[in-house]
């Protein structure tokens, strides 16, 4: 009889646990449905009024006002236009939720009734049309929706929410600026750091995850190729740097194909080449600009050494003296790889599947795009970080794309915009469920 009673208690306890999960999910869904209309208005306003990197004055003010209305302790001007909000709800873990705020110098071509017509001067005084072509307006609105939902459901969790609105992601400067301004020293060191990036390849209603390096590291390089200029009609009296540069460009294509382990992704692209002024003049030098993408620092070092060897070899074969060897300059200010903490990602993905269903939380491949979010995980505190793709493509357009290979506007394209309602509801409900779960509830 004792064993029967024990068995009945176990069954009852298990049934109660399973019944609580759907109840929590339903409560989250109801809360998200209630805030969608108001949140859409915020999104439209942000979309209409984009601001360039390090110029996000109006935007950061909006983020600060929204946080204050939710009851956060708010600090502005962190690392420039950065905003930090702290919401304490008893003893427990601290989870940092990050959004970026800046837009891009692109003329919008979406045809939306609330399309941006903003023109801004950059720091060089050059006027540029501006739009949210990378979805940061979606990031901010979803971020605010998550925070609003968590505050309204604070009886479901205990701990501290650290809300960070970051400037200058597009310039790869914002995260480091906030860290250097004492983000973790002045406020608190979170247990986890989480965020989204909207996807131009996944349908709205889905989440993409990867437990490891999800975004590539990026470095820039400049190569100056020297020669000995002269008349274009008498090339035998010159050492043509245009020809040397052409040799270098072709040889660069063998770095990834022949020097890097095929299972380790990398990209080396010559994005610009400048040399000469007239068709009949052979110049004295040519400049090339390169972008390098990698997921491991060892791969970057191999690429770096190969570039030195290739450029030097081309110059020697052309007969240039030691004093005229090519000059290579490698940047130090670009982004490291964004390396998701595998345990955090897999725990979060399970919680998201609990909320959205297994089929809507998709393991994806790493992307060679860059994000400065990875810097939050490289501080002395070694904080686990995780960034997830938030599906943004209208589901009907996505299906049309699959059937007929119709191209979808990519990120940083003048025609890109997310399908707000399904993306917003998915992003808010999934991350809210994740935060509550990570808090231990």
Instruction: Report yes or no: 239 and 420 within 8 Å, Cβ to Cβ.
Output: no
User: In 292-389, which ranges are continuous DSSP H helix?
Assistant: 297-317, 342-356
How many Cα atoms sit within 13 Å of 376 on the Cβ side? 31
Compute how many other C-beta atoms are within 10 angstroms of the C-beta atom of residue 123: 9
Q: Which of 250, 237, 253, 243 lies closest to 318 in space, CA to CA?
A: 243
170 is catalytic: yes
* Per-residue three-class SS string for 52-89: ECCCCHHHHHHHHHHHHHCCCEEEEEECCCEEEEEEEE
Rounded CA-CA distance 272/327 in Å is 16
Rounded CA-CA distance 69/152 in Å is 12
List 100, 102, 108, 371, catalytic entry: 100
Instruction: Report yes or no: 223 and 213 within 8 Å, Cβ to Cβ.
Output: no
Residues whose CB is less than 8 angstroms from the CB of residue 410 and which lie 6 or more positions away in sequence, other chains included: 200, 201, 416
Q: What is the DSSP letter of 372?
A: G
Tokens found for residue 50: 């984009």
List 108, 137, 170, 191, catalytic entry: 170
Instruction: Report yes or no: 255 and 293 within 8 Å, Cβ to Cβ.
Output: no
100 is catalytic: yes
Phi, psi of 20 (to 5 degrees): -70, -35
Task: Quote the longest CA-to-CA distance of the chain.
Answer: 106
Reduced to 3 states (helix: H, G, I; strand: E, B; else coil), residue 235 is: helix
The order of strands in the sheet holding 207-209 is 73-78, 82-89, 159-166, 94-100, 192-203, 385-393, 207-209, 361-363
What residues are annotated to the active site?
100, 170
């Amino acid at each position: 009889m004792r064993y029967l009673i024990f068995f009945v208690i176990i069954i009852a306890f298990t049934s109660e646990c399973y019944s609580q999960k759907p109840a929590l999910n339903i409560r989250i869904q109801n809360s998200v449905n209630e805030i969608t209309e108001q949140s859409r208005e915020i999104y439209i306003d942000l979309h209409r009024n984009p601001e360039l990197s390090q110029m996000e004055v109006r935007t950061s003010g909006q983020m600060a006002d929204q946080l204050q209305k939710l009851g956060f302790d708010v600090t502005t001007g962190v690392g420039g236009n950065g905003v930090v909000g702290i919401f304490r709800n008893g003893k427990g873990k601290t989870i940092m939720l990050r959004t970026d705020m800046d837009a891009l110098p692109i003329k919008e071509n979406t045809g939306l009734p609330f399309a941006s017509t903003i023109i801004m001067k950059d720091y060089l005084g050059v006027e540029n049309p501006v739009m949210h072509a990378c979805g940061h307006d979606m990031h901010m609105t979803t971020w605010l929706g998550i925070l609003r939902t968590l505050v309204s459901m604070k009886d479901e969790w205990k701990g501290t929410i650290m809300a960070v609105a970051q400037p200058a992601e597009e310039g790869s400067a914002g995260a480091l600026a906030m860290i250097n301004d004492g983000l973790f020293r002045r406020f608190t060191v979170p247990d986890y750091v989480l965020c989204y990036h909207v996807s131009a390849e996944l349908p709205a209603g889905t989440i993409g995850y990867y437990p490891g390096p999800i975004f590539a590291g990026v470095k820039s390089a400049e190569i100056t190729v020297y020669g000995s200029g002269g008349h274009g009609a008498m090339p035998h009296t010159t050492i043509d740097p245009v020809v040397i540069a052409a040799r270098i460009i072709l040889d660069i294509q063998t770095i990834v194909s022949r020097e890097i382990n095929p299972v380790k992704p990398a990209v080396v692209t010559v994005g610009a080449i400048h040399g000469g002024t007239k068709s009949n003049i052979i110049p004295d030098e040519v400049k090339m600009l390169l972008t390098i993408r990698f997921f491991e620092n060892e791969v970057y070092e191999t690429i770096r050494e190969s570039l030195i060897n290739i450029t030097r070899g081309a110059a020697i074969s052309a007969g240039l003296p030691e004093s005229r060897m090519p000059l290579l300059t490698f940047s130090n200010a670009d982004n490291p790889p964004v390396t998701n903490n595998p345990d955090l990602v897999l725990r979060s993905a399970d919680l998201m599947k609990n909320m959205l269903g297994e089929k809507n939380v998709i393991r994806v491949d790493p992307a060679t795009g860059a994000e400065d979010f990875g810097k939050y995980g490289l501080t002395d505190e070694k904080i686990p970080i995780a960034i997830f793709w938030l599906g943004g493509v209208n589901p009907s357009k996505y299906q049309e794309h699959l059937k007929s290979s119709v191209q979808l506007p990519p990120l940083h394209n003048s025609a890109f915009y997310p399908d707000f309602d399904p993306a917003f509801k998915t992003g808010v409900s999934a991350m809210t469920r994740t935060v509550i779960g990570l808090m231990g509830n």
